[in-house]
Structures are given as structure tokens and as C-alpha cells.
Amino acid sequence: AHGWPGLIEAYRDYLPVTDTTPIVTLHEGNTPLIPVPTIAREIGRGVEVFVKYDGLNPTGSFKDRGMTMAITKAKEAGAKAVICASTGNTSAAAAAYARRGGLRAFVLIPDGFVAQGKLAQALLYGAEVLAIKGNFDRALEIVREVANQYPVTLVNSLNPYRLEGQKTAAFELIDVLGEAPDWLCIPMGNAGNISAYWMGFQEYHAKGLSQKLPRMMGFQAAGSAPLVTGEIVQSPDTIATAIRIGNPANWQRALRVHEESNGAFNAVTDAEILDAYRMLAGQEGIFCEPASAASVAGMLKCKDEIPDGATIVCVLTGNGLKDPSSAIEFSHTGFKAGIEPDLDIVAHTMGF
């Protein structure tokens, strides 16, 4: 076969696989790093800004990076079924990779708080979807217990293979830029992804493949910001349902990343998230989901702290198509309905 083989094959030397490991892949990874010059101009001072568009993975989010590894290792260990709790993206990725590997996929989701595209994916990929009357944090508690007591493998980011797969995004950044960025801006929910990126940056740095280590800048939605306030949030709330999490699974890891990278964690309001969401789409042509826009919203919020001439990467974790109702509800563009199918009326309505 030709072309990109998927991230396990591409980064085999850095991952816990052997020649006999049955790799389950949808050729994920190798996602584009796109300059966003209009957003960079908001900062000025020679700062360069890129987005890592991980919404272009096979199921539309960065979760595919972790799931190719988690499902591969589950299959290697002889598992017949996997389970996760999810705000949506993990469930879509778990479903796709599990089914491709011939495993059953059980997913617990918070009823009413998963974007439509994600639910559609989980269902069509063939997951067994249980919508619970509770939030993500409660669903995660339950699946951890289920995986302890029954023959089903947990594929949330507590599964160490998830982070192994996800760290390859940091490798890709350095492979393309030739060096680590000065800042890595990233949304945080369970803080698995920020932990994985940091692992990746550290590994390449230790091998001499980069000279710098980035400052890890993590952002949460203001109504769901336990890593910023230091307290569990009992009833997390935000329009960015992907990161509607009050008790992050990788809390301790996140604190280490913060300290080791001299990073900073901040909260962004839903209004700031939506401004960045619209700016990315309307000015750069890049459609991400609201949670992903938190990385850009956070960078803009902290823009006065950015050193002159810095290189910044904002991670866009999920594709905008995941959440069509947010796009329709929060767009500011002029949708005009009920227009008569008449040339003159159309031209007039266009302002000609």
C-alpha cells in the first residue's frame, strides 16, 4: 500500500507494539498544520499562529489517535468488548475502531448533552449506546466499575495506550515545524490530551529531535473549569459539551504538566469560545467544534503574555460537522428563508 499508513506504523519505534501486534487502523494522524494569519494579526509583534486540525481524523476528532492504540492493544490481549464514558467524540472513535477490530463497543453518554453528529456516528458504527440520566463524570465512575467487574476493557484516557497514541500529535508538530512551538494551546476536559502532548514533546526532546519544550497552555470552559479553580465542579455547564466535565480523570497528570512545562491553565467563557469559533470559520475557513475553539479563545485571552516572534500552535480537537446545531444556532451570517424563486427578487435580496 502507498501513502500514509496510520500513526502506529508511522511512529512504530515510539509505541508499544511488536511485529505480531494486530494493528487496527483507519490511517489516522498526519493531520494538517494550518497557518491562521488573520488570527495572528490580532496579536501582531511577529507572532506566528498555526492550528493543528485534528478534526480531519477518520472519525473527526483527535480521539482516533488514542483509539487506534487502545483497540489494537485490547485486541492483542484477546478482549472481546470495550467500554467508555463519553461526551461524544470518544464514543464515536471507540465505536469505529472496535467494530473495525471485531470487538463490541459499549458507550455511556450523558443523556441530552452529546452533539448530534457524534451520536449519529456511534449508532451507525454499531456501538451499544446507553444514555444515562447523569453527567459525564457519573458515567465515567460507572464504566470504571463495570470494567473492574466484567470482561470488558476500559478505553477512556485512563487506559495508558490512549495517551501513547495521542502523543504522536506532538511528534507531527515537530516533524513539520522542525522544532517545538513556544506555546501549545489546547482545550482540557479530562486532561488526557494535554498530558499526551507533553509526553510526546518530552520524548522528542530527550532524543534531540527538538531543542525547545513548549509552555503548555490549557483552557477550560468557565462553567466547567475544575483545573483552573482547583475544585471539583458538581454541575459542569458550557455550550462546549465535549468538555463539560467537572472531575477530570487525569487531574494529577495535568498538574504535573502545568508545573514541568511552566504552563498556565485558564478559563474562557462561552461567549469567548463562540467568538473564536466564528472567527476560525468566518475568517480562516476552518470549521471546528465549539470545545476546540477554546484553544484559540484562550490564546487570544492571554495574548499580552505572548513573547514577540513566538510560534504558537492551537489544537483544534474536533471537526465542526460534529455539532451542526451549534453552528446553525450561533452563526451570525445572514440566513434568509422563504425567498420567492424569482431572479429579480433574488438579486434584489442580494443587494443588487
C-alpha cell at 23: 494493528
Min CB(18)–ligand F0G separation in Å:
27
| Choice from 58, 165, 181, 187 touching ligand F0G (CB under 6 A) | 187
Residue 190 in contact with ligand F0G, rule: CB under 6 A: yes
Task: Name the residue nearer to ligand F0G (CB basis): 181 or 248.
Answer: 248
Q: Which is nearer to ligand F0G, 193 or 261 (CB)?
A: 193
In this chain, which of 6, 29, 88, 320 binds ligand F0G, going by CB under 6 A?
A: 88
Dig out the grid coordinates for 227 from the structure: 483545573
Q: Is 115 exposed, middle or buried (0-12, 13-18, 19+ CB in 10 A)?
A: buried
Q: How far apart are CA 71 and CA 110, in angstroms?
A: 23
The binder of ligand F0G chosen from 71, 119, 122, 191 (CB under 6 A): 191
Those residues whose C-beta lies under 8 Å from the C-beta of residue 14, and which sit 6 or more positions away, are 167, 168, 171, 203
Minimum gap (Å) between residue 156 Cβ and ligand F0G: 8
Q: How far apart are CA 198 and CA 202, in angstroms?
A: 6
Residues 143-172, interacting with ligand F0G (CB under 6 A): 157
Across the beta sheet with 48-53, what order do the strands follow? 33-35, 48-53, 311-316, 183-187, 215-221, 264-268
Using the minimum distance from each CB to ligand F0G, give the nearer residue, 59 or 311.
59
The DSSP secondary-structure symbol of 288 reads B
User: Least CB distance from residue 19 to ligand F0G, whole Å?
Assistant: 30
Of positions 153, 193, 247, 311, contacts ligand F0G by CB under 6 A: 193
User: Does residue 236 belong to the site contacting ligand F0G (CB under 6 A)?
Assistant: no
Q: Tell the residue number behind the cell numbers 500552535, with chain if given.
A: 313
CB of 112 to ligand F0G, least distance (A): 15
Asked if 176 contacts 33 with a C-beta cutoff of 8 angstroms, the reply is yes
Rounded to a whole number of angstroms, the minimum distance from the CB of residue 318 to ligand F0G is: 3
d(CA 16, CA 168): 13
Task: Kindly list the residues in this chain that would bind ligand F0G in the complex (CB under 6 A).
Answer: 61, 63, 86-90, 157, 187-193, 242-243, 289, 291-292, 317-318
